[in-house]
Amino acid sequence: MLLVEDDATIGRSLEQALRAEGYQVTLAADGTSARRAFEHSVPDLVVLDLGLPDVDGLDLCRELRASAPAISILVLTARQEEVDVVVGLDAGANDYVTKPFRLAELLARVRAHLRRSDVHAPSHCLVAGDLEIDVDARRAFAGGRELALRPREFDLLALLASEAGRAVTRERIMDECWDEHWYGSTKTLDVHISQLRAKLANGAGPERPTISVLRRVGYRLDAP
């Protein structure tokens, strides 16, 4: 795989961690050496930091995608910049990890993507209307477009979709999507649901599922 990261500390430690997992890794510290490495040998996966010194990471992403449609591209973006994420996915990235990230999370994503490209193993999928959720890869598509979901939004959507047409109680959601011992307000659930509804409604056609609010009970995902 090709790892493009200009921060030497992050780059080296990631390279080490990925090698320890048995991957062959080429580390490129800027866009120019990334292009060179890519031309030399097309990798099955590119881990691409979007903030590079010499090129626009998104341009590079588009370029790599155009020359190798089948590879997986995992972009690293600065934290909280949701715009980056959406634009990154538009630029052809398959997935993103926000910085700072936990190594375990990044390795899990890498594994998931390589598994997909390697063996096309059937993964656990949920379908409701024009919504498709690949549970193993933690990716959701609505009308063929990948949704940029935060981890908890993904968990919520996957749970509601697995019970499509049936009410899911707030208690069950808090149990399954939040930490076991959550003593805070469940207001946070409503906030996540409203963000998720907005993302689902974006560009919705007649086949798009909706999330209904059941007062004092919970939520239900309805597919047309």
Cβ atoms of 93 and 74 closer than 8 Å: yes
Give the nearest distance from C-beta 8 to Ca ion in angstroms.
10
Give the nearest distance from C-beta 7 to Ca ion in angstroms.
5
Residue among 49 and 84 whose Cβ is closer to Ca ion = 49
**If binding is defined by CB under 5 A, does position 49 make contact with Ca ion?**
yes
Exposed/middle/buried for residue 136 (C-beta within 10 Å: 0-12, 13-18, 19+): middle
Selected range binding Ca ion among 4-12, 23-31, 126-134, 207-215, rule: CB under 5 A: 4-12
Cβ atoms of 15 and 110 closer than 8 Å: no
Residue among 38 and 219 whose Cβ is closer to Ca ion = 38
Identified binder of Ca ion from the candidate list 1, 3, 4, 6, rule CB under 5 A:
6
Task: Give the number of other Cβ atoms within 10 Å of residue 201's Cβ.
Answer: 12
Give the nearest distance from C-beta 66 to Ca ion in angstroms.
22
Give the nearest distance from C-beta 58 to Ca ion in angstroms.
13
Q: How far apart, in whole angstroms, are the C-alpha atoms of residue 79 and residue 64?
A: 23
Q: Which of residues 158-187 bind Ca ion (CB under 5 A)?
A: none
Cβ atoms of 97 and 133 closer than 8 Å: no
Selected range binding Ca ion among 45-53, 137-145, 151-159, 165-173, rule: CB under 5 A: 45-53
**If binding is defined by CB under 5 A, does position 146 make contact with Ca ion?**
no
**If binding is defined by CB under 5 A, does position 84 make contact with Ca ion?**
no
Tokens of 187: 């207001």
**If binding is defined by CB under 5 A, does position 51 make contact with Ca ion?**
yes
Give the nearest distance from C-beta 46 to Ca ion in angstroms.
15
Amino acid at 24: Q
Selected range binding Ca ion among 50-58, 125-133, 149-157, 180-188, rule: CB under 5 A: 50-58
- Interface residue list for Ca ion (CB under 5 A): 6, 49, 51
